[in-house]
Every structure is written in C-alpha cells, then in structure tokens.
Chains A and B, each alone.
Chain A
C-alpha cells in the first residue's frame, strides 16, 4: 500500500469509527482465557513448536508462548490455537 493510501485508510477508519483491522490490514486476536486463541489476518507461520508460535504479520511479527500448543485449524489468513497460553508479544521489526 502506498503511504498516501495508508493515510487515507487510517483517516477513513477514524472518521467512520470502523474497527481498524477492517481497513488497515491489522491482525485481530480473539482470546478465550488462556486456552484458545483465534488470530485473523496473519501472513504465515514462521516458527511452530509446542511452546512457541511465531506468526508473520503485515507489519512485524506475533509471538505466542505457552505449553502444549496445537493448531486446531489453519487457513491462509486465520489460525486457531489451543493449549495453555502464557503470553503474546507483538514485535515491530522496522
């Protein structure tokens, strides 16, 4: 996305009070306690073990730490994780 377009999108999102993931291509995380995590809008799996899941995002990375992590389902831009989730970290590599 061009910078102008990005700013335009951001402006529209602010003006219309639309959730930003819709316009700005941001990930949306839905978490149920420490057992289930639903991630939309990712850009691929970078690393996956039973303790750590690293996902690529449109901007940066997402790290999920925990125990016994299992991908219940995986689709091109959605991941559904189950297990005991200890932490989520967003990394900006810019």
Chain B
C-alpha cells in the first residue's frame, strides 16, 4: 500500500498544527460557533445529538495492521472502546471530546492517517472496490489512480468550499462493486482494443433525498486526463451549482437542470483550456505511485489444499462461512476473506477496540499486514492462503467476526441513525437489530439467499436505502418515527432505484413487514432467482398485496 514520503508526512503534520490552533481559537471564544462549523467540518468533526462525531479517513478503504492497531488504541483511549465503519469506508468515533480531537489527529499522523475532508462541502474520501488488486475479474487496479486523486483533492484550494459535498468513486472491474453510478463523479477504468487504459466518466449520480443514477459524460477518456477533466467538471459545478438551497446543491441537480448535453458542452469548453497542461498525469508519477501497489510476495501454490478440503467436508459451520465470507482471488491458492461486522445483535459496522486489534493481528499473521474496509461496512483480509482459512475462521469466530452472513439478509447497510445523528428523522440501529432477531437462523438466511437490506435514518441516505433490494427509510410524521419501505433498488452495472411500496410503518411492525416481503419472494421465486430478480420479474404488486393484506382486513 501507499507509504508517506516526507512531503505527505509534512502536510499531515502541518494540518494537525493548523487544526490545533483553530480548536484553541474556538475554545478561547475567538471563533464563533458559526465560524468554527465549516472549519471543523472540513476535518470530519460533527456536533451530534449526544457528543461530537469524528470521522477518520481510510483512503479507498485500505489499512495497514499498524493503522488498525492505532485505531483500536484511539477508540479505547478517547472513545467508548469501539468505532463504526461507514459506507464511505471510513471509521467514525461517536464519543470523542472536542478538545481531544487535536491530540487524536496527532496520534493518527504518526501512522500516516488523518481526518482531512471527511466531511464538509469539499471532495470527500475517494472510494473503490474492496477487492481492488486481487479480484479475478479486474482489468485495471484502480488504487494508484485513487491515491493520485487523493493527493490532488487534498486541500485543493479552488474546491475547498463547494456548493455541497462531492464524492468520487473509481473502479476497474467489469462487474462494478464501487457503485460508480451513484457518485458525483464515477470513474470506470477499462482497457480499450489497443490495451490502452481509458476511463468511462459518470457524473451527477447520488443517493440522498433525490436519488439519481449518474450520466456518462465521457465514454473514453485517456487516463492521463483524469485530473484535468475532473477539474473542468468541478469548476463548472463550483460556479453554477446552487447554493441557495442545500437540498438542491449537489451536482446531480445541476446536471439534471442543465441536461447532460449542455452540462457536458460547458465542461468540454472548460477542459479545452486545461487539457494537455500541467494537470496531465505523467507516466513517471503514475509509475511512482503504482510501485506501492505491486502484487504481494505470493507463494507459488497449487489450486487446492488437502487440509482445506477435509475441513470443508467435515465441518458444516466452516463450510457455510466459506460459502459466504470467502472470495475468489487472482492468484492460485489464495482467497479474500470478509470479516463480518454484522454480528446479530450488534450495530452494523461497529467494531470494538479488541476486534480491531484481532483483525490487525490476523492481517499480520495471514494477509501481508493489510486490511480493507468495504462500503458494506465489513473488513477484508485480501490475501489469505487456502491452507490458512480454517485457522483464520477459528480465530475470527472466537472474536465474533465470522458470522456467515455476507451478502445475506442480515449483512445490512445501516447508518448510525437517530441514536447518534442530528440529521436523522428516526432511529435505524434498533430496526436493524429487530430484523436480525427475526432472521436469526443461518440455515434460513442461506435459503433466502443474497439480498441487500439498506437502512437510512433520514433521506440524506447514508444507509443507501434507495439502492437496497429492500430499502428502509426513517421518516418523521407528527414527531413520531415511521419507516417507509421500498423494493427493487440495486447497485452495480444494472443499477436501479427502489420504489416505495405504500404507507409507512411503525418500528414494531418492521420485522413482520420484512418477513412478509421474504415470504412473498419465497412463494414466487424460481430455483435460480435471488430476491431482486423476483421483484424485477413479477413487479411490486404481489409484495404489496401480502404486506398490506392483513392490515386492511384487521
């Protein structure tokens, strides 16, 4: 993974000093609440319902074991012994003290980490596929470009105060796992017929209260122009994006209002001034950064392993874990492992300090000392030998990190919701918990098969509800918490937005509602269909009929 040089380290150290001074001025009363807000927000510090929340950047979701150990230490020393991994592959601390934040940042800087631009109206953490570099279907490893873009976006002077937040995702696989169509800018790297690296650029996608899939703004951009083209897009947005209404300030609204053709014409005009200038990424810089993402020192291994096969044949619990939590790898004899942060009864994405240390130890012993965070809020060991899987499973299981539910119903995406967040209309964690309790049977979960339930506590959509196969959105009706349910959303190349099935429900109705949706699916499905396929084939009506039937007759 990328290692800081003197320049990277100096920048992060200078940021700590700058933020320490800003905090001092705020605490001394020299900065008002209003003045301090945009400053702390640039640094990932929100003032939440109960305490400040600090969001720590995990660039494109990649972490070293040293960094993970440090996060575990920080969660113990400055927080309540746990942290929350978010859908932007970052780590959130829910209980730090505002006056401790400069010290936390200083500790983070010692392991090449920071909280720069993890919130605020600026370019946020750039995300990618959690299997980048190791996925068999990958055509281009996007991590070097993600790092180049990370550096470019860090303290970008022109784009420090945009109309609204700005999210970029990069992907290099045929099967999109980085949700590029749901980002302000999505970059899908591919190789053209001459084996040259090109980018399909998407713009104006996003979740939130107006979910919109992105539009293609460039079909075939040479990789050297990734930054100049992005600058042309963001400059156009900075000038023309709405600032009078924060709900209409994202670039997606501008693109919709202008139309993609008119927007593209403006961007291309801007780009004509920037193209082939100093923003053009040099081969030398690309090579310098790529050198940090060389493949690991893999052993030459056979494609199978006898002890693994034996365990697979004799241990059903191990087998079901392998089925759900172990993923294909480019290299023979290696697999990627998902450590589930979706233990039934725990908040999705939460990890205790002890679990963080365990994952770091596992990474050191079995996966070249590296970890990844997925946007589904789980942790990944990307390079585990087949022969080590059983040991990894045993250790992960002992630490509560081996729930065999990846991709299944209880592998829900869920925002922190009304328990923590100021913006939320409703709590989301208790809903996740009650659904987990309703479906607390692994055999049943495996029978239901792959399904994504996404829960957001408000229409800002941090829980990605609009692309959940089942989406749950917390809404406020006369000061009471209600939940709106949609079905038919999906991420990936064939993305779609879910449609609301009807009137919303009280919290205690939710497990039964999900049960009815699942029952309908099981009645309607063909042998090979997953939930989303059935919804797409039969439409929403049978689901609605079942969910609302009893209500009407009661």
Binding partners A and B: no
